[in-house]
Amino acid sequence: MKSIDEMTNLSKVARARLAEEYEVGCSAPVDRMESRDGTVKYLYRTADGHYIETVYIPDFGNENRASDSSSLATTAPRRATLCVSCQVGCKMKCEFCMTGRQGFVAHLSAADILNQIYSLPQREWLTNIVFMGQGEPFDNLDAVLRATEVLTAPWGYAWSPRRITVSSVGLAKGLVRFLDESHCNLAISLHHPIPAERSKIMPAERALSIEEVVRVLAQYDFCRKTNDDYEEGTKQRRLTFEYIVFHDLNDSDRHADALLRLLAPLDCRVNLIRFHAIPNTPFRTTDEGRLQHFCDYLNAHGLLTTIRASCGQDIYAACGLLTTKKQEENGQ
C-alpha cells in the first residue's frame, strides 16, 4: 500500500481525514545494482531529498545456488539479510570506510529507516536485518530504537529481536542506553585491539576507549549461541566484534594475543572481515593464508571466531564501500 486512499475498507471521509495528518511514507528505491553473487544494492531517496544505500544479501546455500546469476534476484533464498542505513554519510571518519569519507550529511528518521525494509522488493524473504549500512546507529539512537521497536513489537512486524543486529563503534552516549532499552543483538566495530593504534584509524577511540567499551559490556549478559541454538525463553542477545583484517596493521600474533586479552571478560564472538580496497588509501587486505591463521589462532585459544563471506564487492556493496557522495553533490 502506497497511499491512504488505497484503504478501501474505510470511508472516503475517513480516508480524507487521515490524509490531512498522515502519509504512508512508502517510497520505492530509485536505482538498483545487482552483483554476480545475487547481492542487490538499492538506492533510496529520503523524505528530505537525500540519498542512502541499502544492501540485500541472499544466502542460497552452496547446494541450491542458481547457476545463472541473472535469476538470483527472483529466487527465494534459504536466508536473506538486509543491511540498512541510519544516516546519510557518517561522522565517525574511520580511515578505511567510504561512508566515513563522505562525511556527515543528515540523520534518517525512523520512517526513512523502515522504508528501506517495507519498500524492499524482496521484503517477504527477509530473515535478518543488520544496522551496518551508512551511518553510526548510536549517533541517531532515537530513530534506530523507534525503528527496532516497530520491527519487534506485537503491533508492528513482531520480529524476534534476535533477528536484528545493531552495529556501533561504541559511542558512550548511546551504548548504555541501547543495552538497557533494546534486546537486539549488538556488534561492535573493533578493527584493532590496541587503543593507541586503534585511534589512528578510528577517531572514535579518542572519545571512548575500546577498553572502556569492554568494561561496560562486561556488566551485561550475552550469549554466543546462534539464533537457532537459543534456549526457549532466554532474553540473552548475541555480542559480536567486527574485525576488518589489514595487511601488517592488525593481523599478527601480537594483535591476536591483544584481542584475546581485551575480550577475555566477555561471552562473545569475533567476525573477521576482508578489507575491500577503496581509492587513495594506504591499507591493504591481508592474504588468505594469514587470515585463516589469525582465525585458527583465536579459535585455538578459546575465542569463537569466523570469517565473514564477502558479498557484493563488484557493485561496491561490501563492508565499508557504501557512499552516496556523488548523488548528494549532484543533487540527483
Active site residues: 53, 319
CB 275 within 8 Å of CB 285: yes
7 Rama sector, left if φ>0, alpha if ψ -120 to 50, beta otherwise: beta
Long-range contacts of 182-186 (CB under 8 A, 24+ apart): 182/145, 182/148, 183/152, 183/235, 183/237, 184/148, 184/152, 184/237, 185/161, 185/237, 185/238, 185/239, 185/240, 186/217, 186/222, 186/237, 186/238, 186/239, 186/240
Q: Determine the Cα–Cα distance for residues 293 and 297; give it in Å rounded to an integer.
A: 6
Given the DSSP bridges, would you call strands 128-131 and 79-83 parallel, antiparallel or unpaired? parallel
Could you give the maximum distance between any two Cα atoms of the chain, in Å? 70
Contact status, residue 241 vs residue 306, Cβ threshold 8 Å: no
Provide the grid cell at 197: 593504534
